[in-house]
Amino acid sequence: MKIAIISPGPFSVPPVNGSSVEHDIDEVTKRIGHEHQVTIYTRTCAAYPRSTTEDNRRYVRYRYDGPSAYLQKVIRDIRKNRPDVIMVENRPRYVLALKKNFPDIPVFVNMHSHVYASKRMISRQKMKRVVRLSDGFFTNSHFLRSHFIKSHNIPEQKIHVVHLGVDVTPYQFAGDDEKVKRLRKKLGLQDDQRVLFYAGRLMRAKGVHVLLKAFRQVSRRDPKARLLIVGGTGYGSNRLNPYVRQLKKLAKPLGKKVKFVNFVPSAKMPLYYQLGDIVATPSVWKEAFCRVNLEAMASGKPVISTPRGGIGEVVADYSSGFLVPPKEWSEALPVIWKVLWDMPDIRLEMGKRALARARQFSWNATAQGYIHVFEAAIGKQQQAERQLRRAS
């Protein structure tokens, strides 16, 4: 099978600055078997200035001058190297031009969140056409699938849940004692200090302000508690915007008990997770999936998160972590923190369960989920073509 995967365009594949959609494309296509040929359409950048081929993956890279110009270049190459199936990553509006040019090729849309199907990004009229013209949708959680069925009237049989995966190996082998000690020293963390860890973008939807307010209560009761916040305003960006200024203001009374670390590339994150004893993801919006939870669990860390969106499909409450509504964090976080440190056996057992849970989400399973749906669509199309030929 010849598979074409169209990345959104603004970031490169493989990702340089840790962009999540491009990370998913890179990881899942590594696991697509050699019996299939995969073409990944993405942008050029300083790290990847030209098209390349790697095993059964062909990277076709174009300069990104906006979505329309980028997509037209992609369409020209697809016309020359016709695939059996096309998957559009997180840009449903691309379907309209693709189906106009290739009405006979199955086109799927892989939605990583609700954002690019919202009215802010695409009109309701155009989204209706996307639903009608596309051959199917993928979502990374049952929550997101339900959202699209209700919000965009997508027929249930046309939308498939395929969870994202994680490779636990780099997270398990990142715990070299000397490397961790050096990094702790660099960041001013003492050996006896207990670290609550946050990783992700510094944006209101991620609830970092909720975490800081709750950590005030933790720090009053535990003088050894420290909060480490790793991330920037965007992928590769450390811009000081109004929200980050608000976070710094909230952290100021806590002094050295809170440490901000600028954006860290995804390849280095397995080591940084080793700094945390417990990982916090205080999302206040309806997360589709929340990859950080899975990465934390792959590191063997208990997770304190919220029951928003699809998070509960990854974090098992009172098993691999805790799910606490955002409004209850200031009251609940100090209690959970005390229990996990007063009863270290519970903390260690939750870490083991977290790792076991993470192992259930493999990139191989993600790849096979896509392949299964693609093969069914191609088989259905071939059957329809045979019936048409017999009828004529």
Same domain, 114 and 243: no
Same domain, 350 and 263: yes
Global model pTM greater than 0.75? yes
Same domain, 283 and 329: yes
Per-residue model confidence (pLDDT) at position 177: 83
Same domain, 127 and 202: no
Q: What is the pLDDT of residues 29-80, one digit of tens each?
A: 999 999 999 999 999 999 999 999 999 999 999 999 999 999 999 999 999 9
Whole domain around residue 178: which residue ranges?
168-358
Per-residue model confidence (pLDDT) at position 165: 97
Same domain, 280 and 175: yes
Same domain, 191 and 297: yes
Same domain, 302 and 196: yes
Same domain, 90 and 239: no
Q: What is the pLDDT of residues 287-311, one digit of tens each?
A: 999 999 999 999 999 999 999 999 9
For the chain, what is the domain count? 2
Per-residue model confidence (pLDDT) at position 185: 94
The CATH number of the domain where 66 resides is what? Answer: 3.40.50.2000
Per-residue model confidence (pLDDT) at position 391: 76
Same domain, 181 and 146: no
Same domain, 115 and 251: no
Per-residue model confidence (pLDDT) at position 217: 97
Per-residue model confidence (pLDDT) at position 190: 95
Q: What is the 3-state secondary structure (H, E, C) of the chain?
A: CEEEEECCCCCCCCCCCCCHHHHHHHHHHHCCCCCCEEEEEEECCCCCCCCEEECCEEEEEECCCCHHHHHHHHHHHHHHCCCCEEEEECCCCHHHHHHHHCCCCCEEEEECCCHHHCCCCCCHHHHHHHHHHCCEEEECCHHHHHHHHHHHCCCHHHEEECCCCCCHHHHHCCCCHHHHHHHHHHCCCCCCCEEEEEECCCCHHHCHHHHHHHHHHHHHHCCCEEEEEECCCECCECCCCHHHHHHHHHHHHHHHHEEEECCCCHHHHHHHHCCCCEEEECCCCCCCCCHHHHHHHHCCCCEEECCCCCHHHCCCECCCEEECCHHHHHHHHHHHHHHHHHCHHHHHHHHHHHHHHHCCCCHHHHHHHHHHHHHHHHHHHHHHHHHHHHHC
Same domain, 195 and 290: yes
Per-residue pLDDT of the chain (392 residues; tens, 9 = 90+): 999 999 999 999 999 877 899 999 999 999 999 999 999 999 999 999 999 999 999 999 999 999 999 999 999 999 999 999 999 999 999 999 999 999 999 999 999 999 999 999 999 999 999 999 999 999 999 999 999 999 999 999 999 999 999 999 999 998 778 999 999 999 999 999 999 999 999 999 999 999 999 999 999 999 999 999 999 998 777 888 999 999 999 999 999 999 999 999 888 999 999 999 999 999 999 999 999 999 999 999 999 999 999 999 999 999 999 999 999 999 999 999 999 999 999 999 999 999 999 999 999 999 999 999 999 999 888 787 777 777 76
Per-residue model confidence (pLDDT) at position 386: 77
Same domain, 57 and 126: yes
